[in-house]
Amino acid sequence: MLRNAPKFYEVAKRIVEITKDCIIVAHNAQFDYRILRTEFKRLGFEFERETLCTVELSKQLIPDLPSYSLGKLVRSLGIPVTDRHRASGDALATVKLFKLLLAKDTEKTIIQQMVKKEPKLQMEPKLIDIIAETPSVTGVYYIHNKEGNIIYIGKSKNIKRRLNQHFTKTDRKSKKIQLQVATVTYETTGSELVALLKESEEIKHNKPILNRALRKTIFTHALYSFTDHNNYINLTIEKADGRKSNITTFSTRQSGRHFLEKAVEDFQLCQKLSGLYKTKASCFHYDVKKCQGACIEEETPESYNSRVNELLDKYSYKNQNMVIVDRGREVDERSAILIQNGIFKGFGFFNLNHQINNLDILESIITPMENNKDAQHIIQSFLRKKKRLKIIQL
């Protein structure tokens, strides 16, 4: 349904036109309004409208119902609904519900009280000045207190926008930042990967007081392989164990499983030998002719293992010598992340291609960094997500 649907920017102007001088009515209006404001903010437009929530109105006008979810509410009120959980169906059901509520509100007092306009956050002058002096670039930023100490380190593809979020949010960490910030310094990287690596290392070295969550290891699960008694390479997602050599790491078990499911499809692997289908017989993919039979020893270990090794070579840089080339700080500059014998050495910036083809020159422009588990996770997950990265094998 979404494949051929228009992008938000294509319909944004129409949304502005049809909502002008109107009140947005929605079931749980706060959620829908927040989504709209977020999308418009990404386009650089401040979208402000009055809202009215049919959940809150229903609780006022029809009290003591067991549930106020849209489906149960319209069913209990005998309102016909088609295409439930689809945009048109839910919107029409909300219209019918709203008309019923309007009819019930004979005094019109509740309607008047329930109209809300989101209050505009007033930012302190010092915070406005800090944002004004910060560029909209990719990099790492450092928030300092009045003593000059770094209290928070972050990375962003748009530092100005990220600081604006810190200075307007109302969660506990944001409030602490707003109270303590005196100045912000930053380093541009151009490359999001370099920014991630730099942020991770500098948090570990500086231990800023408001970065408690990121001081810990940022991955929980890993992909491991072992050879079974029939000589087939098996894959498994397990809790990360620093004592064992892994292929790649994940922030959650779910993301690891999602990766493995896609890998099984892409490399025509066996669900059973990948730990995705527990059975003593053939896997489901074999029954639907998508597995070549390694689960019941119909395919030879040599044939099956060759495809598993393709997967391992693609997503693990173990024993590899390579340079990951990404954006630089300027238009004519590129960043280089150096891997030697499977070990992350650091990053640097270059302008001319011969600088990365000559290993001696390359090593001289590289800023050394620690090859820890977090750095490996950042690189591996970035390689998984960014398909168009340029990689040069040395």
- pLDDT 10s digits, 26-63: 998 988 999 999 999 888 888 888 888 899 888 888 88
The per-residue pLDDT for range 168-197, each reduced to its tens digit, is 888 889 999 999 999 999 999 999 999 999
Domain match, 21 and 95 both: yes
Parent domain of 197: 125-215
Let me know if residue 211 belongs to a domain: yes
pTM, two decimal places? 0.59
Domain match, 305 and 352 both: no
pLDDT of residue 118: 52
Let me know if residue 24 belongs to a domain: yes
Domain match, 39 and 86 both: yes
The per-residue pLDDT for range 273-317, each reduced to its tens digit, is 999 988 889 999 998 888 999 999 999 999 999 999 988 887 777
Mean pLDDT, rounded, for 71-81: 81
Label residue 240 by pLDDT band (50, 70, 90).
Answer: confident
Domain match, 65 and 147 both: no
Mean pLDDT, rounded, for 326-355: 87
pLDDT of residue 107: 63
Final residue in a domain of this structure, among 88, 117, 146: 117
Domain match, 311 and 239 both: yes
pLDDT of residue 117: 53
Domain match, 40 and 110 both: yes
Domain match, 297 and 347 both: no
Let me know if residue 173 belongs to a domain: yes
Final residue in a domain of this structure, among 83, 101, 117: 117
Q: Does residue 248 carry a pLDDT above 60?
A: yes
pLDDT of residue 26: 92
Let me know if residue 58 belongs to a domain: yes
Let me know if residue 1 belongs to a domain: no
Mean pLDDT, rounded, for 146-163: 93
Task: State the average pLDDT for the chain.
Answer: 86
Task: Domain count for the chain, please give it.
Answer: 4
Let me know if residue 288 belongs to a domain: yes
Q: Where are the alpha helices (DSSP H) in 68-171?
A: 70-76, 87-104, 109-114, 125-132, 159-168
DSSP-derived letter for residue 345 is: E
Domain match, 175 and 113 both: no
Let me know if residue 258 belongs to a domain: yes
Domain match, 371 and 388 both: yes
Q: What CATH number does the domain containing 65 carry?
A: 3.30.420.10
The per-residue pLDDT for range 86-131, each reduced to its tens digit, is 788 889 989 988 888 887 776 666 666 665 555 455 678 889 999 9
Domain match, 104 and 43 both: yes
pLDDT above 70 as % of the chain: 93
Domain match, 14 and 102 both: yes
Let me know if residue 2 belongs to a domain: no
Domain match, 26 and 70 both: yes
Final residue in a domain of this structure, among 96, 117, 138: 117
